Amino acid sequence: MFKNKIAVVTGGANGIGKYIAEEFRRNGADVCVIDKAYDIPRR
């Protein structure tokens, strides 16, 4: 569905933003997550 698309998700380190970022990824998008929560480990 989102092949060759880039999704930029703000507030994506946890909660609803994290869920949205994961759904974009599951649907084929490349995802850029931006959040001010610096203590969340990168995956």
**What pLDDT score does 2 carry?**
94
**What pLDDT score does 13 carry?**
85
Each residue of 1-43: pLDDT tens digit? Answer: 999 999 999 998 889 999 999 999 999 999 999 988 666 566 6
**What pLDDT score does 7 carry?**
97
**What pLDDT score does 42 carry?**
61
**What pLDDT score does 20 carry?**
96
**What pLDDT score does 6 carry?**
97
Can you give the residue ranges of every domain in the chain? 1-43
Measuring CA to CA, how many Å separate 6 from each of 1, 3, 16, 32, 38?
12, 9, 18, 7, 22
